């Protein structure tokens, strides 16, 4: 079963460019994973502190493997100092089939 995620990061104002670079690196590496079906990063136009991922994973197993990647572990360790609050992670279901 496919896994749909939306993940929201809210950068501290002084770290917007650093967070942007970290998250763009994550896009590049995550898209190389076999189980990754979609991995898009959006940036707020009216609120530049907001970054939103829309992700689709082939399966829970694929997402679990993604979460164990060294670049994910590095992000989890480093980004808390750069963001205003913990990331919002939302598991979703596509309704408009």
In tens, the pLDDT along 42-71 reads 999 999 999 999 999 999 999 999 999 999
3-class secondary-structure state, position 91: strand
Instruction: Give yes or no for a contact between 94 and 4, defined as CB atoms under 8 angstroms apart.
Output: yes
pLDDT the model gives residue 94: 84
Asked if residue 96 lies in contact with residue 4, where contact means CB atoms within 8 angstroms, the answer is no
96 has pLDDT over 90: no
pLDDT digits (tens, 9 = 90+) for 1-39: 899 999 999 999 999 999 999 999 999 999 999 999 999
């Amino acid at each position: 079963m496919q896994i749909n995620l939306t993940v929201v990061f809210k950068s501290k104002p002084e770290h917007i460019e650093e967070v942007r670079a970290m998250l763009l690196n994550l896009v590049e590496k995550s898209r190389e994973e076999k189980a990754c079906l979609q991995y898009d990063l959006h940036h707020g136009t009216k609120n530049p502190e907001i970054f939103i991922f829309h992700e689709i994973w082939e399966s829970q197993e694929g997402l679990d493997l993604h979460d164990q990647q060294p670049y994910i572990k590095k992000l989890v360790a480093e980004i808390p100092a750069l963001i205003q609050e913990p990331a919002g992670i939302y598991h979703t279901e596509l309704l408009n089939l």
